[in-house]
Chains A and B, each alone.
Chain A
Amino acid sequence: MGEFRYMGHAMPYLPKDGCTGKLIVIEGTDGCGRSTQAIMLKEWLEVQGYAVIDTGWTRSKLVGQAITDAKQGHSLHRLTYCLMYAVDLADRMEYQIIPALRSGFIVLADRYIYTLLARGVARDADKQWLRDLFSFAVQPDLVFYLRLDVKDLVPRVLEAGKMNYWESGLDMNYGDDLFDSFIAYQTELIEQFNLMTQEYGFHTLDAHQDPRTIQRQLRRAVTEYLQQSNYPAPGAAAAPTQNLKSQI
């Protein structure tokens, strides 16, 4: 258990041994509270004394900005969309994730390949091609899926700002207007996440719950996993129930 491995096809030139860290992923659609939970979890783990690095899509030095820029334009196609995200992950994998795992860190990923698998399928990309493309990804040790229905997603997204072009799948003509497209596109994404739940062994958490409740469930599951997998506990453990200052 917890042995370092790739999802499928590897990066053969990278040494595989000596990765003692853990990769924990939090997945879910837009507006499910994922990022808030990831930030709280990281802080809590650090309070416990665990070394954590966080990562997420478009944070690579190589193409992070380029993806953001390309999404302002209108030349992205589902192939280039998926491929650019793959570059982003590959760059982070080699310069950030694998080095951190090798140093024994907990890597906390706010979204992982599952988001791209869902988005790719929602854009009619070939399922097998998507899996092959992202098969260089390191197999996560734990994947949490914050599950939310589309009807509960809408008020959250509107509260947070507005429905954006990509989150509404407007590039794919999912509906007549922004709202209809958002509903249809997000419904498809949720459907894809639900389909992947079993295949990839997601720990599904009900994202309708109070954020503190969700956080408690996350902490409990992470603690259990770390104990089971004999991940070295930090020497001086802090009080388990720490008040969190920042909750973005």
Chain B
Amino acid sequence: MDSLLTPHHYSGKLIIVEGIDGSGKSTQLQLAMRYLQAKGLRPSFTEWNSADLVKAITKKGKKKMSLTPMTFSLLHATDFAHRLVHNILPPLKAGLIVLADRYVYTAFARDVIRGCERDWVRRVFQFAPRPDLALYFNVPIDVSVSRLISGRAKLKEYEAGMDLGLAGDLVSSFKIFQGRILGEYAKIVREYGLTEIDATQSIGEQQQTVRRLIDQTLADYKPQTPQQSVA
């Protein structure tokens, strides 16, 4: 019954990355995409919270600080459903490789920490297909914070869980919020069998592991010719 626990039957492959902000997962996925492209494959890419349908709503809600744990979670679900229907399922059914930066596990972690029921969130996302490879980039909070602070102008409010009133300043709030998310991820990794990667390693070392795992995942994969993939 649970689609996330049973393999999908599409001819394509779904590869996803998860991890807290600053875990380096996006970098790793970009490098993995280059790897696949160099092999002559044409992976398609999709990322969390990017559907036109809901982007403006989320932005407005964040600006007015009117989002509640429930509406936030349901907007994530709407975003995901939209991308699933428009960006994920068509290439998967057509036999292509889909790379997703964050997947439903992000909602399972964040929305639960925000106060939604663990079981409810899982049921809402029940329509999601199980990825063929789900990589979880595990990193301690301090590492992720220093990466984020050195790489970006400033932390974002919702990413730091400022809506939860955990702490007065962004950095402390981020640490508390992301720390709780790490704890939630630990449960998810066990429950759904995500493959854990030590994200404190160098980028090169991690990418080696990622590529090896991708090769394993694609062992039984029959690439589509460009003509087929266009149609």
Contacts and interface: CB of A to CB of B under 8 A. Distances in A.
Decide if A and B are genuine partners.
yes
Interface of A: 9-13, 61-63, 66, 70, 75-77, 79-80, 83-84, 86-87, 90-91, 93-95, 126, 129, 132-133, 135-136
Given A75-B53, A94-B68, A80 B82 contact: yes
Closest 10 CB pairs of A and B: A13-B115, A79-B81, A9-B120, A132-B123, A83-B78, A90-B70, A77-B85, A87-B74, A90-B71, A80-B81
Q: From DSSP, what is the main secondary structure of chain B's interface residues?
A: helix
Interface string B80-93: 01101110000000
B78 A87 contact: yes
B113 to A, nearest CB: 11
A15 B138 CA distance: 35
A90 B68 contact: yes
Contact of A79 (B60, B67, B84): B84
Contacts of A13: 69, 115
A12 B115 contact: yes
A10 B68 contact: no
A84 B78 contact: yes
B171 interface: no
Q: Which of A12, A61, A95, A126 has the most CB of B within 10 A?
A: A12
B81 A83 contact: yes
B74 A75 contact: no
A80 B78 contact: yes
A230 to B, nearest CB: 31
B70 A83 contact: no
A164 B117 CA distance: 37
Contacts of A63: 57
Nearest to A12: B117
B120 A77 contact: no
B158 to A, nearest CB: 15
B116 interface: yes
A185 to B, nearest CB: 21
A11 B68 CA distance: 10
B77 interface: yes
A62 to B, nearest CB: 6
6 contacts: A11-B116, A12-B116, A61-B66, A66-B54, A87-B75, A129-B126
B155 interface: no
Nearest to A82: B81
B124 interface: yes
A126 B115 CA distance: 26
Given A80-B78, A80-B82, A80-B85, A66 B120 contact: no
Q: Which of A70, A86, A94 has the most CB of B within 10 A?
A: A86
A62 B70 CA distance: 12
B143 interface: no
B61 A62 contact: yes
Nearest to B82: A80
B191 interface: no
A24 B85 CA distance: 36
Contacts of B86: 75
B221 interface: no
Q: Which of B74, B124, B126 has the most CB of A within 10 A?
A: B74
B120 A132 contact: yes
A12 B67 CA distance: 16
Contacts of A129: 123-124, 126-127
A43 B82 CA distance: 41
A136 B115 CA distance: 13
A70 B53 contact: yes
A12 B69 CA distance: 10
B66 A79 contact: no
Given A13-B115, A75-B53, A94 B82 contact: no
B122 to A, nearest CB: 9
B119 interface: yes
B149 interface: no
Given A12-B115, A75-B82, A94-B70, 6 more contacts: A13-B69, A77-B85, A83-B78, A87-B71, A87-B78, A94-B71
Interface in B48-77: 53-54, 56-57, 60-61, 66-71, 74-75, 77
